[in-house]
Amino acid sequence: MRPSVEEQLAGTCRVLEGVVLPAVADPYARTLLAGLIGNLRMLGGALPAINGFLRNDNQATAALLEQMRASVAPELSERIGAALDAPAPDAADRAALDAHNGVLRELLAHALLGDALPVEARQAALAHLTQRAARSPMRYVSTTTPAPKTAN
């Protein structure tokens, strides 16, 4: 499809930088606009990697939940089992991958709330979440600062 989503985002950034940004006089508004442009660039660069990231994260989270299943309450164990038994989403369907990821992450959060979860399982979850954050393709850090307070 032409233009691709990435090309459309890049074109939007060019217009914002070349036309809109020079016309914005307020320093704070310029900073915000520059941050938004940076965020759009990050999204354009991250977009191709999101499906693979979600697919891999779903697999890793599912494996972690399978290990935790015996240590959680029976009702949660059944919910985990149902989620793990569900067919994997189509690797090209970003919305389905994201929805499944949300289900798995919610189950992981509930599992971590349980008192009977062994220390090793908690450590494995922490390692998983730390690695997940490091691998995330969407990691833009805003360069904006809060607006200065004005005296009334």
Q: What's the mean pLDDT in 72-90?
A: 96
Please tell me the distance from the alpha carbon of residue 131 to that of residue 126, in angstroms, as a whole number.
9
Helical spans, DSSP H, in the chain: 5-15, 21-23, 27-68, 74-85, 94-113, 119-135
pLDDT at 114: 86
pLDDT above 70 (res 145):
no
CA distance 92 to 82: 23
User: What is the distance between the alpha carbons of residues 98 and 135, in angstroms, rounded to a whole number?
Assistant: 16
Greater pLDDT, 75 or 142: 75
Amino acid at 145: T
- The tokens for 59 are 């697999």
Other C-beta atoms lying within 10 Å of the C-beta of residue 72 = 22
State the chain's mean pLDDT as an integer. Answer: 92
* pLDDT higher than 60, residue 113: yes
Peptide bond into 3 cis (omega under 30): yes
Question: Does residue 73 have a pLDDT over 60?
Answer: yes
User: pTM for this structure?
Assistant: 0.81
